[in-house]
Amino acid sequence: MTQAKTDSASVSGKRAGRRHRKVKILATLGPASNSRDMIEALFRAGADAFRINMSHGEHEGHAAAIAHIRKLEQKLRRPITILCDLQGPKLRVGKFAGGEAIIRHGSHFTLDRDETPGDENRVCLPHPELFGILEKGDRLLLDDGKLRLRVIRADKDAILTSAEVGGKISDRKGLNIPDAVIPLAALTEKDRKDMAFALDQGADWIALSFVQRPEDVAEARRLIDGRAALIAKIEKPSAVNRLDEILELSDAVMVARGDLGVEMAPEEVPPLQKNIVAAARRSGKPVVVATQMLESMITAPTPTRAEVSDVATAVYDGADAVMLSAETAAGEWPVESVSIMDRIAAHVEGDPGYHERVHLTETLPDATTADALAASCAQIAETVSTSAIVCFTGSGSTARRVTRERPLAPVLVLTPTRATARRLGLLWGAHAVVTKDIGSFEEMIGKGKRMALRHGFGQAGDRCIALAGVPFGTPGSTNVLHIVTLTGDELKGYER
């Protein structure tokens, strides 16, 4: 390798992936976007992380997409985040004679254990565990809430309902039961196989669907055994009711507004979204806002004004990441969807009122040295002109503490652990770089200054904050904060 002969600007220009916004973009891959060229186009347009939806496709196709991402990672010399989203237990009705039926408004309709094809009066419910747990007055929502039934009577063989909202229904449509905790494990046999595949493929995050209780998260953590980070999807009222416990056991949460909006009244979802984002921020856990953010861009080259406002609201609230689903997985404008989301986020963060609004959520530090120093970083960045906060971390905990405070300065995270760098792709404001570990205070200062220059986080005369733990390499030992001034000479004599 040759010695660095260029200034910081030209060096940073040769390194891909530096974002000038802090919220992250999670893009779902699918038939419209899982090719090598499209994945690179999405990344260059602004995607920081990629979601593999295990509900669709086969392992062979998912493995190919993951391989494309890892090759792109090598090409661009940037850690790229992969999230594998498990399907979870899907409740569905059985089949109908002729493939469909019309349930009349106000009529009685029965779900039973008879496997005979259904009609306008009844259909099989192939989930024996549901019989006997439902009570009079419970709601049953069919086909993403398009049809609504109310339980009149339920016993061990049949559930008699009244159709409050009828309509056409066809084979194997989905069923949501918002008023009861369903006696189903969050992990089906398919999920267990998909999780094993995802872990073998080196996925950075596993998303757990239809979480109802903390025990669901605990079971998934046991099976993951530290090989990936775990994100709990909040999409059921029962999960909302136990949010604090679920947050404690998770590495992150996702506001999965699709099913949450089916199981709850539409007007309940916006305040819930704000409350979940705020709770996650207070706990120092990343939070992703997902589903229907730019839904019209599945078929249109531009979003509606309401969708733009929706994305902006999540950014103003301080969400760590915003997600695109069908927009990039199956839509006609995947790259444009990422590009527009990138522009919305950057424009919001450039609003003079953004910093004040993002701090409407108070994040009080715990009574620890590490939290006190992280909070100090944010305060110093506001008081003193600072080009970057440079964190040295092995596990990522230092970076999570710092970014919880939503500081003005960008956060450059230096870690010797590639898995840590990849997982930080969902963390607000974090730009992770894999580098050799440090062994002394002097080495920390020297490397921090060099990396800030090399990756475009400052130039000669700028001040940076360096944060680390001594002794180095000891998890959770953050106890050193140092303010340094870049001279511009730090790169001389060092390899790129």
- Tell me: the pLDDT tens digits for 219-274? 999 999 999 999 999 999 999 999 999 999 999 999 999 889 999 989 999 999 99
Q: How far apart are CA 452 and CA 364, in angstroms?
A: 28
Looking at the fold, whether 162 and 197 belong to one and the same domain comes out as no
Query: Is position 362 within any domain?
Result: no
- At 106, list the tokens: 């106000």
The mean pLDDT value for 468-490 works out to: 80
Looking at the fold, whether 213 and 341 belong to one and the same domain comes out as yes
Looking at the fold, whether 144 and 221 belong to one and the same domain comes out as no
Which residues make Cβ contacts (< 8 Å) with residue 338, sequence separation at least 6?
25, 27, 42, 45, 46, 47, 324, 328
Instruction: Find how far residue 16's CA is from the centre of its chain.
Output: 22
Give the β-pairing of 108-112 and 158-165.
antiparallel
Evaluate the CA torsion angle 207, 208, 211, 216 in order and state its sign: negative
207 has which bridge partners?
85, 231
Q: Domain boundary residue among 152, 176, 200? A: 176
Q: Residue 191: what are its φ and ψ, rounded to 5°?
A: -60, -40
Q: How far apart are CA 428 and CA 490, in angstroms?
A: 28
The mean pLDDT value for 466-470 works out to: 85
Q: What is the mean pLDDT of the chain?
A: 92
Active site residue 193: no
Contact between residue 327 and residue 302 where contact means Cβ atoms under 8 Å apart:
no
- At 400, list the tokens: 């999570």
Query: Is position 361 within any domain?
Result: no
Looking at the fold, whether 469 and 376 belong to one and the same domain comes out as yes
**Domain total in the chain:** 3
Give the β-pairing of 24-29 and 321-324.
parallel
16: pLDDT confidence band, cut at 50, 70 and 90?
low
Element housing 306 (H / E): helix 305-316
Please tell me the predicted confidence (pLDDT) of residue 186.
85
The mean pLDDT value for 336-340 works out to: 98
Alpha-carbon Rg of the chain, whole angstroms?
A: 25
Please tell me the predicted confidence (pLDDT) of residue 12.
34
Which residues make Cβ contacts (< 8 Å) with residue 263, sequence separation at least 6?
141, 145, 176, 178, 235, 236, 237
Please tell me the predicted confidence (pLDDT) of residue 184.
87
Give yes or no for residue 135 having a pLDDT over 80. yes
* Candidates 95, 122, 233, 242; catalytic one: 233
Query: Is position 1 within any domain?
Result: no
Please tell me the predicted confidence (pLDDT) of residue 305.
97
The mean pLDDT value for 450-459 works out to: 93
Looking at the fold, whether 103 and 78 belong to one and the same domain comes out as no
Active site residue 328: no
Q: Residue 138: what are its φ and ψ, rounded to 5°?
A: -65, 145
Give yes or no for residue 14 having a pLDDT over 90. no
Give yes or no for residue 490 having a pLDDT over 80. no
1: pLDDT confidence band, cut at 50, 70 and 90?
very low
Looking at the fold, whether 208 and 320 belong to one and the same domain comes out as yes
Percentage with pLDDT > 90 across the chain = 84
Residue 309 CB neighbours (<10 A) = 12
Give the β-pairing of 139-142 and 147-154.
antiparallel
Percentage with pLDDT > 70 across the chain = 94
* Candidates 21, 51, 139, 422; catalytic one: 51
Q: How far apart are CA 428 and CA 347, in angstroms?
A: 16
What residues make up the domain containing 129?
97-176
Active site residue 291: yes
5: pLDDT confidence band, cut at 50, 70 and 90?
very low
Looking at the fold, whether 152 and 194 belong to one and the same domain comes out as no
Looking at the fold, whether 289 and 409 belong to one and the same domain comes out as no
Contact between residue 387 and residue 409 where contact means Cβ atoms under 8 Å apart:
yes
Looking at the fold, whether 252 and 346 belong to one and the same domain comes out as yes
Looking at the fold, whether 171 and 190 belong to one and the same domain comes out as no
Give yes or no for residue 7 having a pLDDT over 80. no
Q: Which residue shows structure tokens 């080259």? A: 301
Q: How far apart are CA 271 and CA 278, in angstroms?
A: 11
Which residues make Cβ contacts (< 8 Å) with residue 227, sequence separation at least 6?
199
Query: Is position 7 within any domain?
Result: no
Q: How far apart are CA 194 and CA 78, in angstroms?
A: 26
Q: 3-state SS of the chain: helix, strand, coil percent to 5?
A: 40, 25, 40
Q: Which residue shows structure tokens 């038939």? A: 31
Q: Is 389 helix (H, G, I), strand (E, B) or coil?
A: strand
Active site residue 383: no
**Domain containing 232 — which CATH number?**
3.20.20.60
**Structure confidence by residue, pLDDT tens digits, 150-187:** 999 999 999 999 999 999 999 999 999 999 988 888 89
Which residues make Cβ contacts (< 8 Å) with residue 126, sequence separation at least 6?
92, 93, 94, 115
**Domain containing 152 — which CATH number?**
2.40.33.10
Annotate 99-163 with DSSP letters as a single string: GEEEEPTT-EEEEES--S-B-SSEEE---GGGTTT--TT-EEEETTTTEEEEEEEE-SSEEEEEE
Q: Which residue shows structure tokens 């898995």? A: 419
- At 4, list the tokens: 């660095």
Contact between residue 130 and residue 91 where contact means Cβ atoms under 8 Å apart:
yes
Query: Is position 338 within any domain?
Result: yes
Looking at the fold, whether 305 and 267 belong to one and the same domain comes out as yes
Q: How far apart are CA 61 and CA 404, in angstroms?
A: 36
Nearest to 234 by CA among 185, 283, 202, 186: 186
145: pLDDT confidence band, cut at 50, 70 and 90?
very high
Please tell me the predicted confidence (pLDDT) of residue 493.
57
* Candidates 18, 92, 221, 418; catalytic one: 92
17: pLDDT confidence band, cut at 50, 70 and 90?
low
Which residues make Cβ contacts (< 8 Å) with residue 356, sequence separation at least 6?
none
Q: Domain boundary residue among 329, 353, 377? A: 353
Looking at the fold, whether 111 and 81 belong to one and the same domain comes out as no
* Candidates 28, 291, 403, 420; catalytic one: 291
Please tell me the predicted confidence (pLDDT) of residue 469.
79
Please tell me the predicted confidence (pLDDT) of residue 47.
98
Q: Domain boundary residue among 353, 382, 415? A: 353
Q: How far apart are CA 419 and CA 431, in angstroms?
A: 14
Contacts 24+ apart (CB under 8 A), 154-161: 155/131, 156/131, 156/132, 157/112, 157/113, 157/131, 158/110, 158/111, 158/112, 158/113, 158/131, 159/110, 159/111, 159/112, 159/125, 159/130, 159/131, 159/134, 160/108, 160/110, 161/108, 161/109, 161/110, 161/111
- At 473, list the tokens: 């390499």
Give yes or no for residue 489 having a pLDDT over 60. yes
Query: Is position 8 within any domain?
Result: no
- At 481, list the tokens: 């904060």
Q: Residue 55: what are its φ and ψ, rounded to 5°?
A: -70, -20
Q: How far apart are CA 42 and CA 17, in angstroms?
A: 11
* Cα separation values, 457 from 273, 311, 380, 390, 451, Å: 33, 27, 17, 9, 8
**Domain containing 445 — which CATH number?**
3.40.1380.20
* Cα separation values, 78 from 81, 157, 339, Å: 10, 56, 19
Give yes or no for residue 46 having a pLDDT over 90. yes
